[in-house]
Structure formats: structure tokens, C-alpha cells
Amino acid sequence: IPEYKEVLLKTKYARDNESEDMIDIVIDSVSFEFGLNAWQDTVANPLVKNIFVARNPSVASTLAKMQTSVDTQIEKLVEKLEQ
């Protein structure tokens, strides 16, 4: 990746120094939300479905109902990471 960024992006494709700086900003800003991706089916989808789609104003009780399932998924992940 460093060679790709420095040689190709900054030398071949960048139009000027400002473009080179922008490439650095973009690449340095990349992030990955592990929790959202890892627990999409366990946390994010049920949360959206049970609160927003159902127009349920009781966020606290919905989260409380999900607690056991979320804890179980976290425990499974920790076990896999420890192996």
C-alpha cells in the first residue's frame, strides 16, 4: 500500500501538491467499524427494526431485551479470538 500511494496515486494521478495532500488525508482517515459489521444481524438490524421501524419510543426496554443476545455474541467472539 505505501508504494501504491506514493508512486501511483501521488506521482501518476495527482494533479498538484494539493491533490497529494488530499490523498494523504483520505488514506489517513479510513476507518473500519468492526462492531457494526461483526454484529449487524445481532445488534444493528434488530435495533433498527424494533425501535425505528416499529416506531417504538422505548429504547431502554428494547436494549434491555437484546442484552442477553448481545452478551452471548460477545462471549463467542472473545472465545474465537482466544483460540
Domain ranges of the chain: 1-30, 34-82
Residues 45 and 76: their CA atoms lie apart, in Å, by 19
Per residue in 41-81, pLDDT (tens digit) is 878 888 888 888 888 888 899 889 889 988 998 898 889 88
Instruction: Give me the amino acid identity at 6.
Output: E
**What's the confidence (pLDDT) of residue 70?**
86
